[in-house]
Amino acid sequence: MISNPIAVLATRTPLGWRQLRHKPMRLAVALAGVVFANMLIFMQLGVMGALFENAVKPVRVLSADIMLLSPEARQFGKLGTLPRRRLYQALGVEGVTSGASLYVGSVSFRTPISIRQANVTVFGVDPEFDGFVDPEISVQRAKLRVAETALLDRLTRRPFGAIAQVIDEKGAASVEVSGRTISLAGLFSLGASFDADGTAIVSDQTFFRLFPRRSGAAASAIMLKVDPEADIDDVANRLKQALPASDTQVMTTEQYADYIKDYMRDNTAIGFIFTFGVVFGFVIGFAIVYQILSADVNDHLAEYATFKAMGYSHGYLLGVVFEEALLLAALGFVPGVLMSLGLYAVIAKGTELAIDMPLDRAALVLVLTFSMCCLSGLVATRRLKAADPADVF
Amino acid sequence: MTQLPHANCFGPKPRSTSAICINGLCHWFGKGPTRKQILFSLDLDVLRGEIIFLMGPSGCGKTTVLTLVGGLRSVQAGSVRTLGVEMAEADEQTMIATRRRIGFIYQAHNLHQSLTVLENVRMGLEVHGPEALADWRKRSAAILAGVGLTRWADAYPAQLSGGQKQRVAIARALVARSPLILADEPTATLDKVTGRQTVNLLHDLAKQQHRTVLMVTHDNRILDLADRILEMEDGRIVNETRQCSPRRETTR
Ligand SMILES: Nc1ncnc2c1ncn2[C@@H]1O[C@H](COP(=O)(O)OP(=O)(O)OP(=O)(O)O)[C@@H](O)[C@H]1O
Ligand SMILES: [Mg+2]
């Protein structure tokens, strides 16, 4: 009998739903399993995403439109160096309006009185560069023209970070860096990272005083600002043509941000641990849903065999199990998202990691949840073979 | 009792009047050395509208015959024509299509616990596709009235007595107007009175609507409801009793 499949769906008894509803305890356990798996996955993805976002933050805060990087460049802490003359070459490329080399170093800051200290990442840039994205930095960059002056990240870890309050109140504060006194003349917002308690921005001149062994000819990166009329990708392509790939990578800011995240996910311990956590959540959810669905199939074997004897096809019974699987996914996902949002709030409070819920992550977990449930359903349907219509008599 | 020659279904006429036509049916269970023959060259012809009881000692092969006729098991040797369809070497699709034209009633009612009585009956229609569901409420209500369960339409099977459940199973088997009913000891789990009532009901509905019934039973008290009684022993039909005027009773 060939019937319109839509009419079949529309008139079909929602057997999967009825079965789930018939055993409320079992349904509750299954949903708890889905929610739990959801929360596990969301937590891993959330914390991983927040850590990666932190790693990408300097790019977003500083960034010009395009960055020139050493071929060995990884995260922001591991940039390597490239020749500064690539900057001058780049400035000659059509569409590039300005640029600056960026020098990155790490040094210890200490307060003179209470001797609190912090490991600070220092960015050295030309104060005349007009390509900073962060308004606080572009407004205050003129302050850096004065030698031995720095802007400090107000999110620098405490206790040293408490100095931000002093700067806020008095307009400036002094710290000792490599035997010099540096004046902290303003604040901006970035956030602590794994390898440093905070970040400071200084002029390139000041940078070389703090890091006397660093040469101006070897920049950590080069930031370029592009004519707003020009297409960034076109300019990037022209730069790739103009600059030797042997010592220079050309990436748009977004490309570099994505590159950092991908690199960290695939090559660092954090990436491994959290990816493992996601897989673990998936497996746990799969196991719970599978247990529930196969128990349900087992309980209904006689009834299923009866359906087969009545003329229902094997496909119909598969449909019932998948209906249950899809329902569990859909019904579990909603509270899963809500509870994960709660979890994010708790984590944010406890760790100062701001975790948001981007749509693509929610979509990813939705897909994972449905695959998890369908996979459980798929395995559970193997038990259906035991429903032999000849056995019902 | 009279011994009748087996009617042979090959030939022009029986094709249209036979609901079931079995020829030289043999069946074995098991493999290798434990392989055991259960049915021995069985012949049987059931006319449309006939009510047949199949009796015999436990293990003689009655249920096996029903499963072969019903397309629930593949035929190994011989021929089984069910409602005009040859079941020997029938593919899965043909077997499924044939099952849909048969109403099965089992010893256990096998109702779906999470569906109401009405919904269980509806499942007997749903298998025929959306077209069959056009007036399902009317048809289900009518058949439930027929088995005296109108009041219980929205109850769940767990709320019913054994006899009531069996009556729901009958309603489910009959609702799609299947021309053939196969029943395997439908009264086995029922008490004397309920069992009698249940088979009475089946008998009346079948006679009203000209359905064929092949029913396995051990119950001596209901034999008067059959048109013909077949006795099996060790995989063979050994005796056949034709009852010219089976007693008619109504349950209502
Ligand atoms: N799936 C099977 N595998 C092996 N042997 C079977 C199988 N089904 C039935 N048999 C055997 O076949 C024989 C006939 O079984 P069948 O169920 O047809 O008997 P029956 O006449 O219906 O008996 P009862 O009155 O007890 O229901 C029995 O000896 C039984 O043990
Ligand atoms: Mg039997």
Averaged pLDDT for residues A99-118: 86
Please check whether residues A228 and A330 belong to one and the same domain: no
Question: Model's pTM, two decimal places?
Answer: 0.75
Structure tokens at B205: 């509905």
pLDDT class of A179 with cuts at 50, 70, 90 = confident
Minimal-distance CA residue of chain B relative to A389: B72
pLDDT class of A3 with cuts at 50, 70, 90 = low
In a domain, A260, yes or no: no
Range from A44-48, A318-322, A378-382, B3-7 carrying the lowest mean pLDDT? B3-7
- The closest alpha carbon to B103, from B193, B16, B177, B210, belongs to B177
Residue A360 and residue A358: Cα distance in Å, rounded? 6
In a domain, A297, yes or no: yes
> What local confidence, expressed as pLDDT, does residue A371 receive?
93
Residues in chain B with CB shorter than 8 Å from the CB of A307 are 123, 127
Residues in chain A: 393
pLDDT class of A352 with cuts at 50, 70, 90 = low
Please check whether residues A225 and A336 belong to one and the same domain: no
Minimal-distance CA residue of chain B relative to A2: B129
Please check whether residues A199 and A288 belong to one and the same domain: no
Averaged pLDDT for residues A122-137: 88
Please check whether residues A274 and A243 belong to one and the same domain: no
Please check whether residues A299 and A229 belong to one and the same domain: no
In a domain, A1, yes or no: no
Residue A316 belongs to domain spanning: 13-54+269-392
Please check whether residues A227 and A85 belong to one and the same domain: yes
> What local confidence, expressed as pLDDT, does residue B247 receive?
53
Q: Name every residue in B having a CB less than 8 A away from some CB of A.
A: 63, 66-67, 70, 72-73, 96-97, 99-102, 104, 106-108, 110-115, 119, 122-124, 126-131, 133, 172, 184
Residue B49 and residue A308: Cα distance in Å, rounded? 25
- Top residue of A8, A12, A300, A310 to mutate, by most chain B CBs within 10 Å, is A310
Please check whether residues A32 and A101 belong to one and the same domain: no
Sign of the Cα torsion B171, B164, A309, A294 reads positive
Residue A213: pLDDT above 80?
Answer: yes
Q: Give the residue with greater pLDDT, A51 vs B13.
A: A51
In a domain, A61, yes or no: no
In a domain, A46, yes or no: yes
**What are the tens digits of pLDDT across the range B50-89?**
999 999 999 999 999 999 999 999 999 999 999 989 989 8
**What are the tens digits of pLDDT across the range B187-231?**
877 778 878 888 888 898 888 888 999 999 988 888 888 999 999
**What are the tens digits of pLDDT across the range B159-171?**
998 888 988 998 8
- Domain's final residue, options A247, A277, A296: A247
The 10 Å Cβ neighbour count of residue B179 is 17
Parallel, antiparallel or unpaired: strands B77-82 and B18-29: antiparallel
Please check whether residues A174 and A240 belong to one and the same domain: yes
In a domain, A66, yes or no: no
pLDDT class of A356 with cuts at 50, 70, 90 = confident
**What are the tens digits of pLDDT across the range A244-270?**
888 899 999 889 889 988 888 888 888
**What are the tens digits of pLDDT across the range B96-134?**
999 999 999 887 778 999 999 999 999 999 988 888 888
**What are the tens digits of pLDDT across the range B30-57?**
888 888 999 999 999 999 989 999 999 9
pLDDT class of B251 with cuts at 50, 70, 90 = very low
Residue nearest to atom 27 of ligand 1 (CA): B58
Please check whether residues A33 and A146 belong to one and the same domain: no
Sign of the Cα torsion A205, A211, A217, A220 reads negative
pLDDT class of B16 with cuts at 50, 70, 90 = low
In this structure, which CATH number among 3.40.140.10, 3.40.50.1260, 1.10.1040.10, 3.40.50.300 belongs to the domain B48-74+89-242? 3.40.50.300
Residues in chain A with CB shorter than 8 Å from the CB of B66 are 393
Averaged pLDDT for residues A207-216: 91
> What local confidence, expressed as pLDDT, does residue B1 receive?
40
Parallel, antiparallel or unpaired: strands A66-69 and A249-252: antiparallel
Mean pLDDT of chain A: 87
Ligand 1 atom having least distance to the Cα of B218:
25
Residue A202: pLDDT above 90?
Answer: yes
Task: Indicate the burial class of A80 (C-beta count within 10 angstroms; 0-12, 13-18, 19 or more).
Answer: middle
pLDDT class of A49 with cuts at 50, 70, 90 = confident
Comparing CB atoms, the residue among A12, A390, A393 nearest residue B126 is A12
Q: What is the number of structural domains in chain A?
A: 2
Residue A283: pLDDT above 90?
Answer: yes
Averaged pLDDT for residues A197-218: 91
Domains of chain B by residue range:
48-74+89-242
Please check whether residues A304 and A230 belong to one and the same domain: no
Please check whether residues A40 and A82 belong to one and the same domain: no
Averaged pLDDT for residues A215-238: 91
- Top residue of B58, B64, B111, B113 to mutate, by most chain A CBs within 10 Å, is B113
Pocket of ligand 1 (CB under 6 A): B 29-30, 38, 58-64
Ligand 1 atom having least distance to the Cα of B57:
25
> What local confidence, expressed as pLDDT, does residue B250 receive?
44
pLDDT class of B9 with cuts at 50, 70, 90 = very low
- The DSSP result for B182-199, as a single string, is EEE-TTTTS-HHHHHHHH
> What local confidence, expressed as pLDDT, does residue B245 receive?
58
In a domain, A65, yes or no: no
Residues in chain A with CB shorter than 8 Å from the CB of B122 are 13
Residue B7: pLDDT above 70?
Answer: no
Averaged pLDDT for residues A193-211: 88
In a domain, A139, yes or no: yes
**What are the tens digits of pLDDT across the range A306-343?**
999 999 988 899 999 999 999 999 999 999 999 999 98
> What local confidence, expressed as pLDDT, does residue A2 receive?
53
Please check whether residues A111 and A231 belong to one and the same domain: yes
pLDDT class of A193 with cuts at 50, 70, 90 = confident
Residues in chain B with CB shorter than 8 Å from the CB of A7 are 129-130
Tokens 């493992």 found at? A276
